Amino acid sequence: MKQWEVVIGIETHVQLSTRAKIFSGSSTAFGAAPNLQANAVDIALPGVLPVLNRRAVECAIRFGLAVDGEIAAKSVFARKNYFYPDLPKGYQISQYELPVVRGGRLPVQVGEREKMIALTRAHLEEDAGKSLHEGLGQAAQGRSGIDLNRAGTPLLEIVTEPDMRSAAEAVAYARALHALVRWIGICDGNMQEGSFRCDANVSIRPAGETLFGTRREIKNLNSFRFLQQAIDYEVRWQIATIEDGGSIEQATVLFDADSGETRAMRSKEDAHDYRYFPDPDLLPLVIDRQWVAQARAELPELPAARRERLMADSGLSAYDASILTASLDLANYYEATVTAAGKENAKICANWVMVDLAARLHREDRDIGESPISAAQLGGLIARIADGTISTSMARKVFDELCSGGQASSADAIIASQGLQQISDSGALTALIDELLAANPGMVAEFRSGREKAFNALVGQVMKATRGQANPQRVSELLRQKLA
């Protein structure tokens, strides 16, 4: 059977976290009653004009810098003309020939491997409104509603080169991009609310072929799972189509999450002619060096740099470093934990954050920003494990107490008030062991007759007698001495 190579390029619409819309002063907050956040400009009354929100431009500059792209000194807003009821002006203001960011690249972790995905461009544009076809009530039966609250919300459309070769790579790219835009604070990343939406251009070609196959574009994928499923289905469909002697027609397709299938929405023949031309209501967008320099100065340390630093400073593996830099909040939490626990305990901190804390957050469906235990609390706890004050099993109990006890408590306070310190003192333990050996001659005899199991039982007795506080290692040592 023929080998097929999959070729994927992704266009992502990232909703920018500005308070006001891109060309009007109305709010971008999500969830208001329909059309309450649509002013004269948003509903395109006769005579109104757009005025560019500089905050949106700042977001674009931040992104361009974060992906090492070129920030265009001059870019141009263009009108993309088409009729649709939720497009009030009859055109969308976008950028066409001269986008604000050109080029750039994003390193992506695909399993253990890193791959660099090249970006073509990123451009600013306005979102359209929403057409509502259901939930309008009895009176509106058979009609559609228009909600223009979203109309004019700023978007950054980020376009890659056709660099991805599998659904896994596409998902890894989307995840990395999602992490980056949140990291640099330009997008809230809320995929349910549509803040981050991907279109995937998918084609296949025989392995070794250098020309691209005909692509189909899967529109509006708003979860990583759908992205994966849609591409998987699309690739299977394209291979089956060609192997059955058919050919791929260029088309725009939609993914149906219920059936798990893609289906064509429109073919190339009925593709719109958008009649792009420079918007005469807006001057070219000029970005001087000073503006770029200022944005650069305000940019946080980027995920890739942070990963490198964690690996160098804490001796973390590439994998651990990439998990801990999945978001800026997580990375900051981890580093604050290390600060509280002591740098020499970085590895234990990483394990606690990635395993115990992650499990708890997952169980409670919380984000790291809503962690029930602060980084300082967790670091304090880890310091007590590291210096032997408490055992790891005891530490889990303290951890649970800290999680339910509020931010005021500390590991030290819980350990002291509940007397949870580990008993490592030889004197106290020796007396206890002597007592036990005297009370259990049978077990001693068993051990002496060569049954190692009896030794473990004796250790267990000591632990039980100390309610788990005895340092198990120390108990073993002392028992061996006594029984020698």
Partner 1 sequence: MIEFSLAEIAQALASREISSVELTGLYLDRIARHNPQLNAFITVNAERSLAQARAADDRLARGDAQVLTGIPIAHKDIFCARDWLTTCGSKMLGNFVSPYDAAVISRFHEAGAVLLGKTNMDEFAMGSSTETSFYGPTANPWALDRVPGGSSGGSAAAVAARLAPAATGTDTGGSIRQPAALCNLSGMKPTYGVISRYGMIAFASSLDQAGPLARSAADCALLLNCMAGFDERDSTSLDRPREDFSRELTAAASSRPLAGLRIGLPEQFFGDGCSPEVMQLVEAAIAEYRNLGAETVAVSLPSMQLSVAAYYVIAPAEASSNLARFDGVRYGYRAPAYDDLTDMYCKSRAQGFGAEVKRRILIGTYVLSHGYYDAYYLQAQRIRRLIASDFAEAFRQCEVIIGPTSPSTAFRLGEKAADPVQMYLSDIYTIAVNLAGLPGISIPCGFAAGLPAGLQLIGNYFTEARLLNVAHRYQQATDWHLQCPAGHA
The residues of the shown chain that bind partner 1, judged by CB under 8 A, are: 40, 43-52, 79, 81, 83, 85, 88-91, 146, 273, 275-277, 280-283
Least spacing, CB of residue 132 vs partner 1, in Å: 14
Locate 68 and state its tokens: 């090492």
CA distances from 455 to 377, 442, 464 (A): 37, 12, 14
Residue 131 or residue 481: which is nearer to partner 1 going by CB?
131
Locate 116 and state its tokens: 């660099």
Kindly report the number of other CB atoms within 10 A of residue 372's CB atom.
17
Residue 46 or residue 208: which is nearer to partner 1 going by CB?
46
Least spacing, CB of residue 357 vs partner 1, in Å: 49
Structure-token match 């790291």, residue found: 368
Residue 224 or residue 274: which is nearer to partner 1 going by CB?
274
Pair 262, 233: CB distance under 8 Å: yes
Residue 144 or residue 317: which is nearer to partner 1 going by CB?
144
Least spacing, CB of residue 196 vs partner 1, in Å: 29
Least spacing, CB of residue 27 vs partner 1, in Å: 18
Q: Terminus-to-terminus CA distance in the chain, angstroms?
A: 70
Least spacing, CB of residue 93 vs partner 1, in Å: 11
Residue 32 or residue 52: which is nearer to partner 1 going by CB?
52
Spatial separation of the C-alpha atoms in residues 260 and 232, rounded to whole Å: 10
Pair 250, 214: CB distance under 8 Å: yes
Least spacing, CB of residue 259 vs partner 1, in Å: 26
CA 61 to chain centre: 21
Residue 285 or residue 382: which is nearer to partner 1 going by CB?
285
Spatial separation of the C-alpha atoms in residues 74 and 79, rounded to whole Å: 17
Pair 425, 404: CB distance under 8 Å: no
Spatial separation of the C-alpha atoms in residues 69 and 92, rounded to whole Å: 25
Kindly report the number of other CB atoms within 10 A of residue 476's CB atom.
15
Least spacing, CB of residue 275 vs partner 1, in Å: 4
Residue 224 or residue 291: which is nearer to partner 1 going by CB?
291
